[in-house]
Every structure is written in structure tokens, then in C-alpha cells.
Amino acid sequence: MPGHTDAYDALAYPDLSYSCTHPSRLAALASAHGRPTGDPRTARVLEIGCATGANLLPMAYGLPEATFVGIDLSGAQIDVARRAATSLGLANVELHTLDLRHADALGTFDYVVAHGVHSWVPPDVAHALVTLLGRIVRPGGLAYVSVNTFPGWHPLLGVRDLMQFATRGIDDPAARAAAAREIVHFVAGAVPDPDHDIQAATLRSYLEGRATSALASEAWADSVLLHDELEEHNHPVLVGELIAEAAQHGLAYLAEAELADGVPRHLAPEVLAELERRASSRADFEQLVDFVVHRVFRKAVFVRSDEPVAARLRAEGLLDLHVTTLGAAGPDGEVLVPDGTVFRTGHAPTREAFAALMAAAPVPVAFRALAERLEEAPVVAGNLLRAHLHSSALVDLLRSPPSVSLESAPPLGFTPARCFGGRLVTNVLHRRVELEAADRAVLDAADGTRDVSAIAALTGLDESEVDDRLAALRYEGLLE
């Protein structure tokens, strides 16, 4: 594959983590489907295409008894990941510069994660990835694979064509990114009546999506653009075909890793019923949904086909899980979530459950312990599961949260977040947090040796501001 790895060797993919790939969340997803999986605390986990380790290493840090293997074709990125693993003092991680086509020899795994790989490799490598998953997922194991999907990618491939046309012959990465952006802006405004032009609408919606992305103002933005839009390979799939191919390798589609991304609840119940009537298989149903919602991306989770899963989600599954929320109490008893979700309920025990979750946050609460204190615990479980289906920020479910203390003194910033630079960092619960520059400075200064006055001296902030920012970092799960 000449040229392919070179692209990642020359310009690494941004340091990004993906909360739903964490074994503890994948295990929770399986529990909600009535299916036991390996304990994440002692699991064997593989990440394929792990790049610089920004997803893998924070997980390995938080689950020290589990073992993690990361592979990537790009040696330069694996070198960065190895340096990070060494600086984090991780003894439970192996990193290999390895083509996934030769990864059988690594053995079998309880959890296999391949985020952003399948669509960005040549089709034969994508097929090899699915074959590999069929071979290396252990009984009781789970495989996560994200893909760009049709029909949503049809118009985006047009954006890509335009960018590729405008960047012919330009080698310098910054100049390529600038030329790609410039042509999109130009063409979006080129027609006299852009409000009634399908191409202008597509380009505008692309630009809006990029402008509102958390990565928009990062130095990474060029890297995202050059890899996601301009990478040599970009092959979206029909999800029905992916599910059918996985079935040939002994894997059954379980669900989207973020349940909230699954069946779109904004569709009328009669539309969903009609989709079910028209579908002769799960693959057909998922495909029909994608045609209706014009889906661009899937984060699909597979299990071994010979292991049964419950047809419907089971609220009893929560008994083995830990629950947390990113919500805060609103003025009239609502729960307000940063993603815009507003949750209200008239069910007093459910309100009580949310109050307990908000009081404990960011530390997750064992649902079993919560259930002992609450009336009508099965109803609360059902309500929490429904809330999770709406937004994983409203109710986040984990099998075994990372064992990290939040109370160190002098303050210690979450070490993986300090190890990887940038404004978007990963917290103890493997969620991304966006930091202001001053928070980033306090996080970096909080190395476990400095007290508040030393952090203030180093950052140039008042001690009271340092105190406030440390409290905010603690609430965001960014202190150990």
C-alpha cells in the first residue's frame, strides 16, 4: 500500500479518544442486552489502528489489571504511542507496528476495537478486518467497528471529489488543507441562488458541521481534514452489507455502541413499525433505518453469532452496572445536560436517583446500592435505561469504572490527560473534556508535587482562581 501509511507517518492522526469504545461501556451495552461478557478489569483488549495511543493508553491506565494490545501500520505513530506508554509507566500494554492482515498471531481477545479504520483502508484490507474479527473475538467477547455509511456519504464523497480536484499537485499539508477549505467556500457561494441549489446546500452543511465541531479551532483541524476528507482511501459501506459480511465470519450485530445513536426515536412509532414489517432480517432493518435517516456513520458492536442475546433491552441488566450523569440540577427539578438534553420526570424515586447521581458525580454509583435505598427500583431502572437510550450524557452506564481516586493532595491531574497535549483531553471515565487554556495550564501544573500556591506561581493565576479551576477539573473527572 505505497503512500497509505506514509500519510500517517508524515502527519499523525489527532490524539482523540472515543468513550463508547471503553470495555466498561461495551460490557454495559452487553449487560443491557442480557448478555454476560468478560470482566473489563481483567480483560484482554486489542485496538486495531490505535495511531498514537490516545484512545488505548488512557483505558490501559484506568484498568491496570487488564491487558491491552495496540497495533497500527504507521511506525511513526506507534513510536509516539510507545513513548507515551513509557511516560505513563504502563506495564499492561503492548504496541506493535503491524498490518492488521497479519494480526492473527496476536491471539484472541475479549474486546476488539477498530475505530476509523474500516473506511480508510483499501477494500481488501477492510474485508480482512472483518475476517480477523471473526477469528479473534473470544466466546463472550465483543467487537467494535466504526464505518462511514451510505447513503449519508454520497454527498460527502462529492465534497471529497471537489477537495481532491483543488489539491492536485499540492504536497505541503498546510497548503493542501488551505486549498481544500478555500474551494469549498468558493463553490458553496458560487451559484446565484444558493438556498435552492442542492450542491450549495451540501457544502454549506459540511462547512457548518466542521465549524461547530469541537476540533474546529484546534491545530488538529488540518490533520482531521487531510485524513478524513483527503485520505487516499475512503470507502463508505451499506450497513446491511457489513452485517451480512460479519455473519459469514460468525459475528452478529448487537447494537450501536452509543445506544442513543441506534433506532431514531424522532421517527413516528408507525414509521418504525412499518420499517420492522418491511425488514426480513436485522440487517435489512438497520439498512432501512439508514436510508430513512441518511446516516453517515455507524459505531457497530458485534458478538459471536452462536451466543444468544435478548431481543429487547433488559432493565434488570442495570443491577450489575455503575451509573453516572453529566447532568446538573435545573431550577424546576429538571436535569440539564451539556448536550442540550433536559430531563423531567414525575416519578419521585427516579428524581431521587438523579439527585444521588448528581451528588456523587463524577464518581459513578453502583445501581445495586442505589436500588437498595429507593422505592420502586425496577421502575427506576427502566427510567434510567430509557434516559440512557436518549443520551449517554444524561445516563452513562459502565460495568466497572476505572479505579481512580479523585482526592489526591497535592493535586494530581489525570496523568493520561497531562501526557497528551491539546484542548480536548480524556478524563478518568474515558470521556472527552474541552478545556480553556487556563484549565489546561492548571492541569499541566498539577503534577502531584505542587500545592495551590506553587501552581499559582507557575501559571500566573491568582490562588483563588487556581482553587476554582481545580474544583472544576475535579468535577470534570480530570484529577486523580
Ligand X SMILES: C[S@@+](CC[C@H](N)C(=O)[O-])C[C@H]1O[C@@H](n2cnc3c(N)ncnc32)[C@H](O)[C@@H]1O
Residue pair 53/40 in contact (Cβ under 8 Å)? The answer is no
**Of the candidate residues 100, 145, 243, 370, the single one contacting ligand X (CB under 6 A):** 100
**Of the candidate residues 23, 38, 49, 413, the single one contacting ligand X (CB under 6 A):** 49
**Of the candidate residues 19, 31, 74, 202, the single one contacting ligand X (CB under 6 A):** 74
Tell me the CA distances in angstroms from 309 to 29, 462, 470, one per residue in order.
Answer: 11, 55, 44
Tell me the CA distances in angstroms from 425 to 174, 212, 266, one per residue in order.
Answer: 24, 18, 31
CB of 55 to ligand X, least distance (A): 6
**Of the candidate residues 22, 61, 67, 72, the single one contacting ligand X (CB under 6 A):** 72
Contact range with ligand X by CB under 6 A, out of 111-119, 205-213, 361-369, 459-467 = 111-119
How far apart, in whole angstroms, are the C-alpha atoms of residue 362 and residue 371?
A: 19
Q: What is the dihedral of CA 78, 27, 40, 131, to 10 degrees?
A: -50
**Of the candidate residues 30, 73, 137, 200, the single one contacting ligand X (CB under 6 A):** 73
Return all residues near 446 (Cβ < 8 A) that are at least 6 apart: 410, 411, 412, 413, 418, 455, 470, 473, 479
Interface of this chain with ligand X, residues 225 to 284, rule: CB under 6 A: 227
Contact letters (x/-) for ligand X, 181-220, by CB under 6 A? ----------------------------------------
Grid cell in block for residue 108 = 484472541
CB of 219 to ligand X, least distance (A): 16
Residue pair 400/375 in contact (Cβ under 8 Å)? The answer is no
Q: Is position 95 an interface residue for ligand X (rule: CB under 6 A)?
A: no
**Of the candidate residues 51, 142, 237, 260, the single one contacting ligand X (CB under 6 A):** 51
Residue pair 290/261 in contact (Cβ under 8 Å)? The answer is no
Nearer to ligand X (CB atom), residue 83 or residue 368: 83
Provide the CA 305 distance to its chain's centre, in angstroms. 24
**Of the candidate residues 77, 341, 391, 427, the single one contacting ligand X (CB under 6 A):** 77
Nearer to ligand X (CB atom), residue 232 or residue 307: 232
Contact range with ligand X by CB under 6 A, out of 5-13, 276-284, 337-345, 429-437 = 5-13
CB of 8 to ligand X, least distance (A): 4
Tell me the CA distances in angstroms from 355 to 277, 327, 387, 473, one per residue in order.
Answer: 41, 10, 14, 21
How far apart, in whole angstroms, are the C-alpha atoms of residue 133 and residue 93?
A: 20
Q: Is position 117 an interface residue for ligand X (rule: CB under 6 A)?
A: yes
Contact range with ligand X by CB under 6 A, out of 44-52, 164-172, 184-192, 309-317 = 44-52
Residues within the interface to ligand X (CB under 6 A): 5, 8, 13, 16, 48-49, 51, 71-74, 77, 99-100, 115-117, 120-121, 125, 227
